[in-house]
Amino acid sequence: MGGNLFHLGRLPRGPYLHLESRLRPLLDELFGDQWRIPYVHTDKADFGDLDVLVSRAALTPDAVQAFAVRTGTTQTKRTGRVYSHALPLQEGERSGEQTHFQVDLFGTPEPELQVRHDFMSWGDLGNILGRMVRRWNLKWGEDGLVYVHRREHDEHYRAELKLSSNIHDVLRLLELDPAVHARGFTNETEMFEWIVKSPHFSPLPYQQTEGKFKDKAKKRAGMQRFTQFVAGRSSPERPPRPERHEVQVLFPDAPLMAWLDTQDRQAGISQRRKEKFSGTRVMQLRPELQGKALGAFITALRDTPVGLQTFDDWVLDQAQDVIDQHIAAFQVSL
Query: pLDDT digit string (tens) for 6-30?
Result: 889 899 999 999 999 999 999 999 9
Q: What is the pLDDT of residue 222?
A: 87
Give the residue-averaged pLDDT of 232-243.
81
Last residue of a domain, one of 75, 97, 116: 116
Amino acid identity at 73: T
Instruction: Say if residue 16 is in the same domain as residue 112.
Output: yes
Instruction: Say if residue 99 is in the same domain as residue 129.
Output: no
Instruction: Say if residue 103 is in the same domain as residue 128.
Output: no
Q: What is the pLDDT of residue 235?
A: 76
Tens of pLDDT, residue by residue over 144-191, are: 999 999 998 888 899 999 999 999 999 999 999 999 999 999 899 999
Residue 296 has pLDDT above 60, yes or no: yes
Give the residue-averaged pLDDT of 73-83.
93
Instruction: Answer whether residue 270 is part of any domain.
Output: no
Among 223, 315, 201, smallest CA distance to 269 is for 315
Instruction: Answer whether residue 272 is part of any domain.
Output: no
Helices (H), 32-133: 61-71, 113-120, 125-132
C-alpha span between 114 and 116 (Å, rounded): 5
Instruction: Say if residue 202 is in the same domain as residue 306.
Output: no
Q: What is the pLDDT of residue 254?
A: 96
106: exposed, middle or buried (C-beta count within 10 Å: 0-12, 13-18, 19+)?
A: buried
Residues forming beta bridges with residue 192, ordered by sequence position: none
Mean of per-residue pLDDT scores for the chain: 92
Q: What is the pLDDT of residue 293?
A: 93
Instruction: Answer whether residue 334 is part of any domain.
Output: no
Lowest mean pLDDT among 123-137, 152-166, 208-222, 278-292: 208-222
Determine what percent of the chain is predicted with pLDDT higher than 70. Answer: 96
Angstrom CA distances, 237 to 48, 186, 213, 243, 293, stand at: 39, 29, 22, 18, 54
Amino acid identity at 258: A
Residue 313 has pLDDT above 70, yes or no: yes
Instruction: Say if residue 21 is in the same domain as residue 36.
Output: yes
Residues forming beta bridges with residue 103, ordered by sequence position: 50, 85
Last residue of a domain, one of 85, 116, 147: 116
Residue 238 has pLDDT above 80, yes or no: no
The residue that leads in pLDDT, 115 or 207, is 115
Instruction: Say if residue 139 is in the same domain as residue 111.
Output: no
- Residue 43 belongs to a domain with what CATH number? 3.30.460.10
Instruction: Answer whether residue 264 is part of any domain.
Output: no
Instruction: Say if residue 250 is in the same domain as residue 168.
Output: yes
Instruction: Answer whether residue 224 is part of any domain.
Output: yes
Considering the entire predicted model, what is its pTM? Answer: 0.84
Instruction: Say if residue 103 is in the same domain as residue 189.
Output: no
Determine what percent of the chain is predicted with pLDDT higher than 90. Answer: 81
Residue 3 has pLDDT above 90, yes or no: no
Q: Quick check: helix, strand or coil at residue 179?
A: helix
Reported as type and span, the H/E element at residue 157 is strand 154-164
Which residues constitute the domain of residue 325? Answer: 277-329
Tens of pLDDT, residue by residue over 268-289, are: 999 999 999 999 999 999 999 9
Domain count, the chain: 3
Q: What is the pLDDT of residue 94?
A: 87
Task: Please report, to the nearest 10 degrees, the dihedral formed by the alpha carbons of residues 263, 267, 273, 275 taken in order.
Answer: 180
